Amino acid sequence: MPTELRTRAISRGTFLRSGLALAGGALGAAALGSGPLGATDAEAATSGAGAAAPAKAASPVQLPTSWKGTAFTAPLPSTHDGYIASWTALYGAGPLTSLSAKKVAQADGISNFLPYGEYEQKERFTPHVAGAVHLDGGPVRIRFVGNKGRKFTAEAHLVRSADPKSPALLLHVLGKSATSLVLPKGSPIVWGTPPVTSLSKLKTADAREVLEQGVGFSFGEDGPNPAHSSRATVLDGGRHIVGSVRFPAHGTRVTRRWFGTAVRADGGWTYLVAELPKS
């Protein structure tokens, strides 16, 4: 494993700034702001309270039985269930299966952690990582202690991304319920934010953008987004999405189906998106 990992953290703020650039096909760092995205806190609370049971799909999507009990089959999360703070690609790290506590603490998105709703550094937080994180091994707890007295408890997951050469760290800040985020093992998982103000307003084109955005951020190259979605479907009034994405893998371009589920993120709603098995 290299002594220094090249990383790129995708936070809620990054998505806010880069939405237009990705929609236009660019992955460069000089992205212009796209304005506020996602539901407001009040809307999120209302939506979460009204979704006590798992949603029924508007069209049949056969999910793997191993996904039962994960975030992809769970009820719509409430404001008490925490939120996704960042998704950090470990570019070029290769087939690593674990990351030490020290490396986790040094990763972008964790070393420079910002609390909910803050997009500039008002307080410096030191991450205290409980131990090494393992691929498909579940989360490792992180205690963020600020130099002004604030404390936050979070968890980091080491997951596969769309790029086989670049795994990723997903940071989930625990809410009052202290509910851990459960993810399916062995499935590449990315993160994309919709360019709409509420889930019910999501259109097919928006779903394609979410898929392309999430898959595209798995790759470290600047320039055109290497991911392209040819078709997508919005399910359950925006609760889920599904679609095909073409992207480079193992020296060629492949087409895979991806399934997304709405989760809370810093500032509103976002989508966790997992690759469906080829079978």
Q: Is 237 helix (H, G, I), strand (E, B) or coil?
A: helix
The answer to whether 34 and 14 have CB atoms below 8 angstroms apart is no
The answer to whether 184 and 72 have CB atoms below 8 angstroms apart is yes
The answer to whether 84 and 190 have CB atoms below 8 angstroms apart is no
Tell me, what's the pLDDT at 251?
Answer: 84
pTM score, two decimals? 0.81
Cα-Cα-Cα-Cα dihedral of 81, 15, 254, 252, to 10°? Answer: -130
Tell me, what's the pLDDT at 188?
Answer: 97
- What amino acid occupies position 41? D
Q: Which residue has the tokens 């009820």?
A: 75
The answer to whether 171 and 154 have CB atoms below 8 angstroms apart is yes
C-beta atoms surrounding 184 within 10 Å: 22
Tell me, what's the pLDDT at 5?
Answer: 61
The answer to whether 113 and 124 have CB atoms below 8 angstroms apart is no
**φ/ψ of residue 212, rounded to 5:** -65, -40
Residue 182's nearest CA partner among 26, 56, 73 is 73
Can you give the pLDDT of all 279 residues of the chain as single tens digits?
A: 444 566 556 654 444 333 323 333 333 222 212 222 233 333 333 344 333 333 344 456 889 999 999 999 999 998 899 999 999 999 988 889 999 999 999 999 999 999 988 888 899 999 999 999 999 999 999 999 999 999 999 999 999 999 999 999 999 999 999 999 999 999 999 999 898 878 999 999 999 999 999 999 999 767 889 999 989 999 999 999 999 999 998 889 999 999 999 999 887 889 999 999 986
Tell me, what's the pLDDT at 4?
Answer: 55
Tell me, what's the pLDDT at 51?
Answer: 37
Tell me, what's the pLDDT at 159?
Answer: 97
